Chains A and B, each alone.
Chain A
Amino acid sequence: MTDDRDSNGRQTDSNERQTESEATDQTSGTTDRTSETTDCTSETTDRAFRTDGMGAGTDAELKRGVLQRWIDSTISDPQKAYRAMFYVATLFFVVTTMFPFYWMLVVAVTEGSSYALVPSLTAVDVGSFREVFVRIEFARYMFNSLFLATVTTVLVLVLASLAGYVFGRLEFPGRRPLMLLILAISYFPPAAFFLPLFQLFTGNVFPWVELYNTPGALILPFSSLFMPLSIFILTTFYGQIPDGLEDAARVEGTTRLGALFRVIVPLSAPGVATAGVLTFIAVYNEFFFSFLMTDGGASDWAPIVGGLIQLQRAGQFEVTYSVMAAGSIIAVLPVTLLVVIAQEKIVSGLTSGALKE
């Protein structure tokens, strides 16, 4: 019964709110909206009738179970079934995506190895969050990760801005084949680039090029792997700026590059931000090169991958599950923050990037 009333109450509630907002819209006089409002109102009356009916049938209701009654009312009002399905589905998705994080938190704050689904507050021990900085050079790993991601993002944005300007605003022979060529890169698996790059960076191709265990060994592959997506996002955005604005700037006496960086790029700020956020997240999350292009030590410029794997593999000798979980939670914070702040950018970037290509 409680269930029933609850969902019903919420329904009417939202309905009222909707009607209200529609009504305000109506006063603003859009003919379009008027029809919607009528729709909505009729729905409300519908629902009012139904509630009355239910009230009258209390006698019959008493004899039947909660489930049966719910099914009955659902049959007379299929909308309700869909709404219930919707809430169940939403709850299911939120729980399944969030539970792993919750579990990590449980592991991180539990001392010993007997975990309760809901740990009692007195048993909570946040020492592992301090411990992780002691066991490994966690701060340095975090710095490495953030540094690599930032430098790569800046490099990609500058190069992709130039390329995006060219592809989005200039007509020249070889435009389409070049775009396809760049697109082709994102199709190959990282493993297909890895062997020669590893040999190059370890000084086996030219003795004077030895980038292994330096930031370069990671920034270079990252930039080339993630640049195509940025180029395509920026091509779309730069292509949308009206020619007149660029011409005006040029008449004012700006150089060609000046027009790009002082007019086109600022006007496409959302696009640049989108490309930047996606590149940053991609680099921060990358595994293949991060894992293979360094020896994994903090002073080898290994990103957070190195630190967490080191903790995990050392587990045979000293089991430190809570420290592993604590480290993971801290490592997740920067990207989580980014998602909360920039979710619109991420959504638009992913969809436009993927669907345009």
Chain B
Amino acid sequence: MATERPEGLSGQTGPYARFVRWMENLTETQFAYFLLTPALLLLGVVAFWPLLSTFRLSLFADNITGVGAVGEFVAFENYLAILSGERNALMPAPFLPETLTVGALFESALTVTLIFTVASVIFETLIGFGQALVLDQDFRGRRWVRVAIIIPWAIPIVVQGMIFYLFFAPDIGIFTGNSALSLQSLGLISGSPLQTPQDSALIVIVADIWKTTAFMALLILAGLQSVNRDLYDVAEVAGASPWQRFKLITLPVVLPTVLVAMLFRTIQAMRVYGIIEATNVGCNTLPSLSCLVVTSFFGGTRLVGTAATVAFLTAAIIGLVVTVYIVFYAREDVE
């Protein structure tokens, strides 16, 4: 079929005509792979190679004083040293908390990341649900309310960080010092919230909720709009209260969407890095997992192997969380 097509070109020579003729003569599979080549080439060099290379680096010892990036091959020793806490003395922050005090929880990468993720995803889901219910109504100005809700999602992380930096910067912040809205005079946050782990965690969580709730809201809204409206009419006739209508009609339909949205947000929240730097909290005050990768790599002691190991442990933990969601989702589906 393809061979008879470019008759107009059959008489022509030259590189373009030859190229076209060559392309027309490819089978469908060949043509598919031909078109995929540029994308796969790019992904290969900038995504797959770095991933594999990071994994390879994680199997080598740190080379703190030598010339090369990493020392000798040590297999999974890095993973063991990091998980057992042996490496803590060298690392900018421990991976797992050393003790189970509140202070230690806010100083170790894994627990900081988990606290951030759980808190922000839960609040984003709840607030996002609220926003979606509002946007699901028909009212004048709906379009502009939606714009207002989406804008925070669309702004650069660095601006998001700047906003919350200006909120909480000493002396000038609206929530610090002698301001009318000061949380400090209420005793809720310490004197320098951006340098205190607990307070800065709170700030970063609120900043994340402010920015990304819109994502949650839009996904849940899509779920809400797939609910068959007739069901509400039937329920109303049958005398169901609005709460019953919500619980028995809306929720079951929307729940799978909510789970998918939560899964996406969780994957993103577990990689938190930008907002910590952009609020000027810094990775030393609040070491998330991504932070730990960067600070191990760029820190005073060059820990390339350790950094790579933390990067892969991060990916593995995200994988674990994804699996939990998928199991949960599958169970919901079966029911």
Which residues of A does B touch, CB under 8 Å?
14, 78, 82, 86, 89-90, 93-94, 96-98, 100-101, 103-104, 107, 113, 115, 117, 158-160, 162-163, 165-166, 170-173, 175, 178, 182, 185, 187-200, 204, 220-221, 223-225, 227, 231, 250, 253, 255-257, 281, 284-288, 290-292, 304-305, 308-309, 312-313, 319, 321, 324-325, 328, 331-332, 335-336, 338-340, 343, 346-347, 350-351, 354-355
Contacts and interface: CB of A to CB of B under 8 A. Distances in A.
A337 B139 CA distance: 23
Interface residues of B, number: 103
B115 to A, nearest CB: 17
A162 B35 contact: yes
Contact of B273 (A90, A191, A198): A191
B172 interface: yes
A255 B151 contact: no
B156 to A, nearest CB: 4
B146 interface: yes
Contacts of A250: 5
Most B CB contacts (10 A, CB to CB) among A98, A192, A220, A304 go to A192
Interface of B: 2, 5-8, 20, 23-24, 28-29, 31-33, 35-36, 38-40, 42-43, 45-51, 53-54, 57, 69, 127, 130-131, 133-134, 137, 139-140, 143, 145-152, 154-159, 162-167, 169, 171-172, 174, 179-180, 210, 214-215, 218-219, 221-222, 242, 257, 260-261, 264, 267, 270-271, 273-275, 277-278, 280, 289-290, 293-294, 297, 304, 307-308, 310-312, 314-315, 318-319, 322
Helix, strand, loop or mixed for chain A's interface?
helix
Contacts of B222: 347, 351, 355
A162 B39 contact: yes
Contact of A190 (B38, B69, B280, B290): B290
B328 to A, nearest CB: 17
Helix, strand, loop or mixed for chain B's interface?
helix
Most A CB contacts (10 A, CB to CB) among B166, B222, B275 go to B166
Most A CB contacts (10 A, CB to CB) among B57, B148, B162, B319 go to B162
Q: Which 4 A-B pairs have the closest CB atoms?
A: A287-B274, A189-B271, A196-B53, A351-B222
Contacts of A115: 172, 174, 179
Contact of B32 (A172, A196, A197, A287): A172
Contacts of A220: 42, 45-46
A206 B305 CA distance: 20
B154 A194 contact: no
Given A115-B172, A159-B42, 9 more contacts: A100-B163, A160-B39, A175-B32, A189-B290, A190-B273, A192-B315, A195-B50, A256-B24, A308-B278
B50 A285 contact: no
A191 B290 contact: yes
B304 to A, nearest CB: 7
B31 A256 contact: yes
B36 A196 contact: no
A332 B151 CA distance: 9
21 contacts: A93-B149, A104-B162, A162-B35, A163-B39, A166-B36, A170-B31, A173-B29, A188-B318, A189-B271, A191-B290, A191-B311, A193-B51, A195-B308, A220-B45, A225-B47, A321-B169, A325-B166, A335-B156, A339-B150, A346-B150, A347-B150
B244 to A, nearest CB: 13
A187 B156 contact: no
Given A113-B171, A305-B158, A351 B219 contact: yes
